[in-house]
Structure 1
Amino acid sequence: MKNKKILVTGADGFIGSHLTEILVNMDAEVTALSQYNSFNYWGNLEDLPNLDEVKVVSGDIRDAAFCRNIIKDQDIVFNLAALIAIPYSYIAPDAYIDTNVKGALNVAQAAREHGTERVIQISTSEVYGTACYVPIDEKHPLQPQSPYSASKIGADNIAMSFFHAFEVPITIARPFNTYGPRQSARAVIPTIISQIAAGMEEVMLGDLTATRDFNYVTDTCRGLIALAQSEKTIGEVVNIGSNYEISISDVFNKINKIMKKNAIVKQDPKRIRPQGSEVFRLWCDNTKIKELCGFTPEFDIDKGLEKTIEWFLDSKNLSKYKQGIYNV
C-alpha cells in the first residue's frame, strides 16, 4: 500500500475510519470521503490520531459527477459508503436504493472511465439471509430479507456487472458482523457494552437466539487490504469472517463477565425484526480468503471484546452514546 493513492468512501463511518487509519500507517496517500454536512463534521474521522495525514473530502456518493471527480487519479477505491441500519431500511427503503445501489453504480462508472487499478466493493453477510447451510460459503443463495440486504445484493450485482462487461478490476468483499471501537449503538455489541457501562442493570435487546460470526474491526480491515493486494481476487466474491458462530445470548454473557457485572436482559419489542426479516443464523466459511490471500483473523471473540470494552469504558468515548434511546 505504500505510496498508493487510495480513496476510502464512507471513511467517516465505523469500519471506514479504522481502514483509513491503518492505510495511513502503511504509508498510503489516503483520500477519505465524509458525507457532506454544513457543520463540517467528519464523523469517526475526528478521532483519528493521524488525521493530519489524511485528505478529507466532503461530498455524496449519490452524485455521479462528484464520484468521477474524486476517483480521478486514484489507484485503489474502497467503497464503504452505504446506509447500513436494517431497521431504518424498513422506514426509508428509497434512500437505501439511492445510496447503496446508485452509489455502487457511480463508483463503478467512474472507475471504468478513469482506469482505476482496483475497486473493492464492500458487501455484507446480510445478503445471505438466514443460513440454508453452514458454514456459509460464497456460493450460498442470496436472500433479500430486508430492504437493506436487497439494496446490497443490487449493489454487488451492479459492481460485478462492470467486471464482466467492461473488465473493471472489481472485488466484492463480504464481511460478516464487524465490531469494535467507534461502532454505533445500532449494532448489538456496542448496545450491550454502552448500557452496562452506563450502570444500567437491565439491558434492552432484541432476539437473543440469533447467531453471528463476529469479527474485530482490525481483522475486517486487514481482510479488505489483503483482497486489494491480491490479483487472484479480481472478479471474485470473498467472505471475510472467523469461521466461529456464537449466539447473542452468549455474547451478552461474555460481556457481562468481562465487565464483572450482573446485568440482566429485558427484551424490547421495538428491537425485534419482523419474523420473515430476522436473520437467525450467520456463520462464515472463510476458506476462500485463506486460499486466495493467505489471510486469517488475529482476534478471537474474547480478545476483541476486551479491547472494545476498554475503549467504551473511557468516559470521553462513552459520552457519545445515548443509552436510553433505541438507536435505529
Structure 2
Amino acid sequence: MKKILVTGADGFIGSHLTEQLVRRGYDVRAFVLYNSFNSWGWLDHSPQEIKKSLDVFAGDIRDPYGVRMAMKGCDTVLHLAALIAIPYSYHSPDTYVDTNVKGTLNVVQAARDLGVSKVVHTSTSEVYGTARFVPITEEHPLQGQSPYSASKIGADQIAMSFNRSFETPVAIIRPFNTYGPRQSARAVIPTVITQIASGARTLKLGSQHPTRDFNYVLDTVDGFIAVAESERAVGEVINVGSNYEISVGDTVSMIADVMNVDVEIETDDVRLRPDKSEVERLWADNQKALALTGWQPKYAGKDGLRRGLHETIEWFVNPQNLACYKADRYNI
C-alpha cells in the first residue's frame, strides 16, 4: 500500500486507526471534517510525532468533489466517516442518508474512477438488528431497526454493488460494539464511566437487559488493518467482534467493580429506544475474520473485557480527558 486515506480520521475509531497506521510506517492522509476552528478532532490529542507525520485533508464526506480530491494519489481508502448516534437518527434521519449513504457513494465512485486498489468500507453490527440466531454470522439477515441502521444497510449495499457491477475492490468490515478511550458518551460504557468519575453513584441509563459484543478499540483497529492488507477480503463482508456476549446491566456491574464503587441505576426514559427499535441481542461470530485475514481479538472473553475496561477507565479518569465530557447531561 503506497498511501492510505482514512475518512473519519478525527473520530473515535478513526483517530486510533490513523495513529496505529503511522506507527506501522504507512503514509497516511487523514480526512477530517472541515470546521472554522481548524480542529482535527481527536487527532489534536495525538502525540506530536504522529501529527507531524500526517497529511491532513479537511473536507466533508458529503461533497463528491472534495472526496475525489482527497482520494487522489491514494492506493487504499479506509472509509469510516459516518453519523453513528442512534438517538440522533430518530429526529434527523435525512442527515444520515446524506452522510452515510451518499458519502459512501462518493467514496466508491471516486475509487472506481481513480483506480484505487482497495476500499475498506465500515459497516456496523446494528445492521443485523436483534439476533435471530447466535453467534451472528455474516449471513444473518439485515434488519433496519433504526434510521441509523437503515442508512448503514444502504451504505453497505452501495459499496458492495460497486464491487459486483464494476469490480471496484471493496471489502466491508462489520465491527461490533467498539469501546475504549475517546469514545463519545452517547455510548453506554463512557456514559457509565464518566458519571462515576464525576462523583455520581445513582446512574442514569436506558435499557439494561440487551446484550452486546464489546470489542476493545485496539482490536477493532487491528481488524481494519488486517482487512486492508488481505487480498482475500475483497468482495467480502467480515465481522470484527470478540465472540463474547454480556448484558448492559452486567457490563455496568463490571465497570463499578473495576472502579471500586457501589452504584444504583435509575432508568431515564429519554435514553430508551422505541420498543421495536431496540436491538435486544448481539453476539459476533468472528471465524470468517480469522479464516480470511488471520485476525482474532486480543481482548476476548470476560477477562479480555475486564482488561479493556481497566485501560478505558484509566484514560477517562484523567482530569484532562474527563473535562472533555459533560457527564451531567444526556449525550444524544
Which TM-score bucket, shorter chain as reference? Answer: over 0.9
Q: Give the whole-Å Cα distance in 1 for the aligned partners of 2:329 and 2:318.
A: 20
Partner of 1:253: 253
Tell me by how many angstroms 1:152 deviates.
0.2
Tell me by how many angstroms 1:235 deviates.
0.3
Q: Give the whole-Å Cα distance in 1 for the aligned partners of 2:121 and 2:131.
A: 23
Q: 1:12 aligns with which of 7, 10, 13?
A: 10
Tell me by how many angstroms 1:264 deviates.
1.2
Tell me by how many angstroms 1:325 deviates.
0.7
Tell me by how many angstroms 1:55 deviates.
1.3
SS of residue in 1 equivalent to 2:56: strand
Tell me the amino acid that sits aligned with residue 131 of structure 2. A
Is 1:195 aligned to residue 195 of structure 2?
yes
SS of residue in 1 equivalent to 2:226: helix
Superposed CA RMSD: 0.7
Tell me the amino acid that sits aligned with residue 256 of structure 1. A
Tell me by how many angstroms 1:211 deviates.
0.3
Q: Give the whole-Å Cα distance in 2 for the aligned partners of 1:246 and 1:76.
A: 35
Q: Give the whole-Å Cα distance in 2 for the aligned partners of 1:114 and 1:72.
A: 7
Tell me by how many angstroms 1:56 deviates.
1.3
Tell me the amino acid that sits aligned with residue 248 of structure 1. V
Runs of 4+ in 1 over 4 A off after TM superposition: none
Q: 1:305 aligns with which of 279, 298, 309?
A: 309
SS of residue in 2 equivalent to 1:95: helix
Partner of 1:325: 329
Q: Deviations over 1:166-214 (max 9, x none)?
A: 1110001000000000001000000000000001011111000000000
Matches within 5 A, 1:1-328: 4-49=2-47, 50-299=50-299, 300-328=304-332
Tell me by how many angstroms 1:283 deviates.
0.2
Q: Give the whole-Å Cα distance in 1 for the aligned partners of 2:31 and 2:179.
A: 21
SS of residue in 2 equivalent to 1:291: helix
Q: Give the whole-Å Cα distance in 2 for the aligned partners of 1:252 and 1:133.
A: 25
Q: Give the whole-Å Cα distance in 1 for the aligned partners of 2:290 and 2:312.
A: 25
Tell me by how many angstroms 1:110 deviates.
0.4
Tell me the amino acid that sits aligned with residue 327 of structure 2. Q
Q: Give the whole-Å Cα distance in 1 for the aligned partners of 2:167 and 2:178.
A: 30
Q: Give the whole-Å Cα distance in 2 for the aligned partners of 1:133 and 1:10.
A: 32
SS of residue in 1 equivalent to 2:276: coil
TM-score, length-normalised on structure 2? Answer: 0.97
Q: Give the whole-Å Cα distance in 2 for the aligned partners of 1:231 and 1:58.
A: 30
- Percent same amino acid among aligned pairs? 59
Tell me by how many angstroms 1:57 deviates.
1.2
SS of residue in 2 equivalent to 1:276: helix
SS of residue in 2 equivalent to 1:178: strand
Q: Give the whole-Å Cα distance in 1 for the aligned partners of 2:53 and 2:42.
A: 15
Q: Give the whole-Å Cα distance in 1 for the aligned partners of 2:263 and 2:40.
A: 34
TM-score, length-normalised on structure 1? Answer: 0.99
Tell me by how many angstroms 1:313 deviates.
1.1
SS of residue in 2 equivalent to 1:297: coil
List runs of 5+ in structure 1 lacking aligned partners. Answer: none
Q: Deviations over 1:69-124 (max 9, x none)?
A: 11111011000000000000001000000000000000000000111011000000
Q: Give the whole-Å Cα distance in 1 for the aligned partners of 2:228 and 2:186.
A: 28
